[in-house]
Amino acid sequence: EAKRLGRGRHARFHGALEASARYRRLIETDLRDAIARRELALHYQPIVRAEDGETVGYEALLRWHHPVRGLIPPLDFVPVAEETGMIDAIGAFVLNEACREASRWGSGRRVAVNLSPAQFRNPALAAEVAAALDASGLPADRLELEITESVLLDASSNNLTTLGRLRRLGARIALDDFGTGYSSLSYLCAFRFDKIKIDRAFIRGICDSREALAVVRAITGLGRSLGIVVTAEGIETQEQAACLRQEGCTQFQGYLYGKPVPASALAEVSAQPRAGTGS
């Protein structure tokens, strides 16, 4: 009996693996055409000032509207894009689209764009960012580039050189998902970031876990000492916001303030007619 159950479990496990390998192949095949078919789009999530709730910018988050499978989240296809090299084309799309969209915002709010560590293998990355700024007319200081620690973990100092180039363009550089992964404080010495984003994992527990609170307190303290902005990600409740305000977090982001929505749902564009459309 136990043996039969064991086999059943094994068969199920095997089935799941097979299904996921099939899913991955499907993603890889269909992703090749996704840009040309205009299936990729950006959604925008507000980032607000902790003090008064004023929106200071939006994070651009990639979405794939698959014709059959519906909405596919970035964590399902960005890793595939990274492994196959498609991330360069997709990353260029994201940069151009985000800069073009933000250039229409009369409010002057910033747009934050996620850069994958794999994009740093592209020696033309900084040139592509410059081209996206140029083509859109977006002032560089309204573009914030979010990177993760793994960009600095990669021993090649090329990445640091590229980061320096991006900074010299005038873009702001944020350290995303801080506190997870390989977190080492030495990264904060290797490069002067404009912002640290505390990972959602710590925000989730901040009200009931002493450990999570301690980590958040340490990070906000670092931010204060270094004179850089600290954003908390993934805030869902007023209680979390109250705790984070008390800890001196400067910016908030999370479903409590707004989920990611298509550009058309933002109230940013109406005030300013688009230049050059001639209507």
Provide the binding-site residues for ligand C2E, judged by CB under 6 A.
Answer: 45, 61-62, 73-75, 78, 94, 114, 116, 146, 176-177, 200, 233-236, 254-255, 260
Residue 149 is a binding residue for Mg ion (CB under 5 A)? no
Q: What is the largest CA-CA distance in the chain?
A: 76
String marking each residue 98-127 x if it binds Mg ion according to CB under 5 A: ----------------x-------------
Residue 146 is a binding residue for Mg ion (CB under 5 A)? yes
C-alpha separations of 93 from 60, 62, 96, 167 in Å: 12, 10, 5, 21
Total chain residues near Mg ion (CB under 5 A): 5
C-alpha separations of 238 from 17, 53, 201, 220 in Å: 40, 12, 17, 19
167 in Cβ contact with 173 (< 8 Å): yes
61 in Cβ contact with 12 (< 8 Å): no
Least separation in angstroms between residue 6's CB and Mg ion is: 37
Residue 60 to residue 167: CA distance in whole angstroms: 19
Q: Which of 88, 97, 101, 176 binds Mg ion (CB under 5 A)?
A: 176
* Residue 11 or 124 with smaller CB distance to ligand C2E: 124
Element (H or E) spanning 198, and its range?
strand 195-198
Least separation in angstroms between residue 148's CB and ligand C2E is: 7
String marking each residue 215-234 x if it binds Mg ion according to CB under 5 A: ------------------x-
Residues that bind Mg ion (CB under 5 A): 114, 146, 176-177, 233
